[in-house]
Every structure is written in structure tokens, then in C-alpha cells.
Amino acid sequence: MGSYDLIKLNVDESCFGCQIDQNINQFWRLISAVVGEDLAALPYAERLPRLLTHGVGLWDVLGECEREGSLDSAIRKPAANDFERLRTLCPRLETVGFNGQASGKFAPQFDAAGYRTVVLPSSSPAHMALSFEQKLDVWRRLAQVQDRAPAAGQAALF
């Protein structure tokens, strides 16, 4: 889970992909290494459906907010996404990974609901205290449950 979708903020998705290609935001590199497929090489519109084939979905913890730019520290007026709707849409969801500390603040709610949670080092350019390899070591914890294939139409989420 991320904090909030850049596309909802009217940030051009090709710009987001460009940032990733320049190794500024490491999300697609990290998740590609976890699932074993170079998703970053795909056009952006093909990445999410392809990610689902690996039993992985994406969802933001915030349904709405105000934010200039992409930094979580710039988030104002946050409103949580509808977690009950997520439970309804993904009844077999077992593991929830949080991309960074901002979204990780919601981990206790998911723990209390019985999910396995992993708060991951952020893929953001604002979190460069760890190398890509150090981040990847933590992100690979998500794959520990991914060895079990999801039921048809069902995805794990992180």
C-alpha cells in the first residue's frame, strides 16, 4: 500500500515512469525483483494487470488528500480509504505491505483485523538512507507468502 496515488494528483503517469527509469523512485524495480518479472520494462498501462497475475495488487491507504508534489510530508487533509470495501473486494487477502512509514501508520489497523503486515522501506527518492539492495532484502519478505498462488481473481496486496 502506498499513501496516495500520484495519478490522482494529476501527476502525469509517464513522468512517474520516467522517474522510475531514472532510479529516482524505485517502486517498479523493487516489485519487479520481488515477483521475478521486469514490470518496469512494460508500458505503464500494462503494469498493473501484469502485477495481478503475480497475486499482487496495489491500493492506497488514503482515499483523498491535498498534496503538492509527491512527498508524503506534503500531505494535508488526509482521509483514509474505505478499509471495509477492501475486505469486501478481497476477502482472501492475507498480507498487506506498506510502502514507507506514512502508509505504515495504518499497519496496526490491519494487524488488528488479522492480516499479516510488512512495513517496507519507502521506494521514494526521499528515503535514500538504504541502498536498493538493502531495501530489496526487506521487500522480499512479501514473497514469503507469495509462494502460495492466489485463487483465480484474487490478489494479495502490497
More confident residue, 124 or 3: 124
Catalytic residue among 10, 23, 25, 81: 25
- Residue span of the structural domain in which 12 resides: 7-157
Q: Assess if residue 80 is contained within a domain.
A: yes
pLDDT for position 121? 93
Strands 76-80 and 62-66: antiparallel
pLDDT for position 150? 41
Q: Assess if residue 2 is contained within a domain.
A: no
> Count of domains in the chain?
1
Q: Assess if residue 1 is contained within a domain.
A: no
Q: Assess if residue 118 is contained within a domain.
A: yes
pLDDT for position 145? 57
Q: Assess if residue 89 is contained within a domain.
A: yes
Query: What is the tens place of the pLDDT at every residue in 13-60?
Result: 433 343 434 447 899 999 999 999 999 999 989 999 999 999 898 888
* HSE (side-chain half, CA atoms, 13 Å) at 24: 9
What are 120's three cell numbers?
A: 517496507
Helices (H), the chain: 13-21, 27-35, 44-52, 83-89, 101-104, 107-112, 132-139, 143-146
Q: Assess if residue 149 is contained within a domain.
A: yes
Q: Assess if residue 111 is contained within a domain.
A: yes
Give the CATH number for residue 38: 3.40.470.10
pLDDT at 149 over 50: no
Query: What is the tens place of the pLDDT at every residue in 75-101?
Result: 778 777 888 888 898 888 888 899 988
pLDDT for position 17? 40
Percent of the chain with pLDDT over 90: 25
Specify whether 10 is catalytic: no
